Amino acid sequence: MISNVMVIGLMDEAIRDNVRLIKIQRPYKDQHGIFIEDKIPIQHWARATNQYFMTMKVGTLIGVKGRLEVLEGIGPTIICDFLEPLHLPLKS
């Protein structure tokens, strides 16, 4: 089964030493007029860039391309093949 995904969201806290959450806002509002945010676990597949992935600031807007796998103890997880920050902090 092929399960490619592309998501854009905000980087959130780490839940393991190699897994972080990404907050993704749904494109529609609930019955109370509020956008619901889902938190999805992401694991970076490459050891070489894992340090960069794990040290990104919480709230960084990122684009992720990857595949779905079920990790023991976590459940459905995006295995990140490509990660791109979509904005950089402004220099003062």
User: For the chain, what percent of residues have pLDDT higher than 90?
Assistant: 64
Domains and CATH numbers, the chain: 4-78 (2.40.50.140)
Mean pLDDT for 42-47 is 82
Mean pLDDT for 49-68 is 89
Q: Could you read off the pLDDT of 6-37 as tens digits, one per residue?
A: 999 999 999 998 899 999 999 899 999 999 99
Strand bridging mode 35-44 / 75-85: parallel
Alpha helices in the chain (DSSP H): 47-54
Q: Any idea of the CA torsion for 26, 49, 87, 4, to the nearest 10 degrees?
A: -30
Tell me what pLDDT residue 40 has: 95
Give the residue from 67, 54, 60, 68 showing the smallest Cα distance to 84. Answer: 60
